[in-house]
Chain A
Amino acid sequence: MVISNKPLHFILAAFVACLPVMSFANSENDSTHVKTEAVHEEKVISHNAPMEGEHVALDPKAKVDAFIDHHLQDSHDFVFFSDEKENKHYGFPLPVILIDGGLKVFLSSKFHHGEEVAEVDGSFYKLVHGKIYKTDAAGSIKLNEHGHPENEKPLDFSITKNVVSMLFVSVLLFLMFTGLAKSYKKGPIPTGFGRVLEPLIIFIRDEIAVPNIGEKKYRKYMGYLLTVFFFVWLLNLLGMTPLGINVTGNIAITICLAAFTFIITQFSANKEYWGHIFWMPGVPVPMKIILAPIEVLGMFTKPFALLIRLYANITAGHVVIMSLIGMIFVGKNLAADLPISMGLTLFISVIEVLVAFLQAFIFTMLSSLFIGMAVQEHDHEHHHEDETAII
């Protein structure tokens, strides 16, 4: 096989660039390879799973795009990999719970990965792009000019892939930290895995909660901050595994997380906080009137910044990694594309591991900052500057 000069240079450059990364993360190498392969196999399903029969002959580029789109979305079943030729999916279905003139519970295997219409108690449902639509027995879907289905959507309370992932992470967190709590009964110093967890807890307390909320009031919010930090971090890391889970890159999840912070902030806010919002002290009356709506808007932009930051960072990471892996399938020259794709994926994966921690940290940090602003009594101005600097 002839390899042209240019890609060779590129490969060399990419590997030299990745050298420091590889030197400290040897074990990462393996997992990335596994991941690549898993996704490779998964990739094949992209053709028939979300796309159905309408786009039969897709070029690889569109297939990769569709697959990335599909991956970023939540799904009603857990598919690890599938065989395109034999049209087989390896995974397990998850329960679908619909509220549509009564509670309707059935397994997502009824949809056959979107290929068939599910009939439940006389109603017909069809899965299009990961969403359930009400349809007729023939499964007709009316599309609008943007290509979005116009059919009625039932209220979907299904136990989706993301819900299962969250439950898994919750159980994991619960086991980890009750284990740590128990280990304190034996002695003042934790044993085993607790030795890893304890410094993290102390880090959250000393670097996030105490400086932002204050020595006196931080204790009340530690439960929330610790839970959110470990929850987001573990979900971010779970997204790095080849299971194909993207929980923290889902807008509903980040909206919910930010809503929690927003509610806690508003409910713990003191008089001074509300005073600063509706009747800013120390400025002339006309200014007070002008400032009030701005400050009210600020109340909402803070959690909005939280939710968008987490969502965008994680989604971007997933898109970049999957696009780099997709290079293998789009490119013509496998021998040249494979090392580039692998090298860059490895490089970005290592960065993503860092981002997974960083985003969890920033989410917790900003949450504690917002709570701190609401409960602190005097140096409001100072924290205002801090916030704008970080956003």
Chain B
Amino acid sequence: MDKLINDFSFGLFFWQAIILLVLILLLVKFAWKPIMESITAREEGIKDALLSAENAKKEMQNLQADNQRILNEARAERDAMLKEAREMKEKMIADSKNEAQEQGLKMIEQAKVAIENEKNAAMAELKLQVSTLSLSIAEKLLKEELSNKESQTKLVEKMLGDVKLN
């Protein structure tokens, strides 16, 4: 202890205090302040950049999720539309089939009616023709038969003979 006190030099203490004080003040002004500010600013910048990168990543993920969702929706919609179209097609085919069948049946019916009518008309015509023809034949025959007296008498006799028979 005695040696320590003996070693203590007030002059050295004095100079050291002045040097240290001046050094601290100078370094604070010209070195530590700008250095600390730069480091802090840089660290803030890095932090911000990291944060924004993280945000961008999240946004990207959201976007991707959105895209996926939209894609899925679109796919579902397309499927639904396709299904609907298929159903519609089937329905249309069935409908047209039915209609065609109906129409066909109707046409057949109409044709049948027309055929019947035609047939009837043709029959009537035929009947008329036949009767006319037979009348004219009969007329001609009668004319021929009754062109002379003899035959006329013969006929009458024959007819009378027929009537008798009846």
Contact = CB atoms under 8 A, between A and B. Distances in A.
Contact of A256 (B17, B23, B26): B17
A10 interface: no
Interface stretch (A102-110, A167-175, A320-328): A167-175
Contact of B8 (A173, A174, A189, A252): A252
A155 interface: yes
Nearest to B17: A256
B8 A255 contact: yes
Given A166-B19, A250-B12, A252-B12, A188 B38 contact: yes
B13 A255 contact: yes
B35 A181 contact: yes
A356 interface: no
Contact of B38 (A156, A178, A184, A205): A184
Interface in A241-290: 250-253, 255-257, 259-260
Interface string A298-309: 000000000000
Interface string A137-152: 0000000000010000
B12 A74 contact: yes
A201 interface: yes
Contacts of A219: 36
A158 B13 CA distance: 11
Given A178-B30, A226-B27, A159 B7 contact: no
A252 B7 CA distance: 8
A157 interface: yes
A174 B23 contact: yes
Given A163-B15, A188-B38, A174 B32 contact: no
Interface string A119-135: 00000000000010000
Given A202-B39, A223-B32, A255-B8, A157 B19 contact: no
**Most chain B Cβ neighbours within 10 Å, of A160, A173, A223, A224:** A223
B132 to A, nearest CB: 127
Given A174-B26, A177-B32, A222-B36, A227 B20 contact: yes
A201 B35 contact: yes
Interface residues of B, number: 33
Nearest to B42: A188
B31 A252 contact: no
A231 interface: yes
Contacts of A162: 12, 16
A146 B22 CA distance: 40
Interface in B1-35: 4, 6-17, 19-20, 22-24, 26-28, 30-35
A82 interface: no
Contacts of B9: 74, 131, 156, 160, 250, 252
Contacts of B27: 173-174, 177, 223, 226-227
B104 interface: no
A197 B19 CA distance: 22
A180 interface: yes
Contacts of B32: 177, 222-223, 226-227
Nearest to A99: B11
Nearest to B32: A223
A259 B12 CA distance: 14
A125 to B, nearest CB: 14
6 contacts: A97-B11, A180-B35, A222-B36, A223-B28, A259-B17, A260-B20
Interface of A: 73-74, 97, 131, 148, 155-160, 162-163, 166-167, 170, 173-174, 177-178, 180-181, 184, 188-189, 198, 201-202, 205, 219, 222-224, 226-228, 231, 250-253, 255-257, 259-260
Interface of B: 4, 6-17, 19-20, 22-24, 26-28, 30-36, 38-39, 41-42, 45
The 6 closest A-B pairs by CB, nearest first: A177-B31, A184-B38, A223-B28, A181-B34, A252-B12, A256-B16
Given A74-B12, A160-B12, 17 more contacts: A155-B11, A166-B19, A170-B22, A173-B23, A184-B38, A188-B38, A188-B45, A202-B39, A223-B27, A223-B33, A226-B27, A251-B4, A252-B13, A253-B13, A256-B13, A257-B16, A257-B20
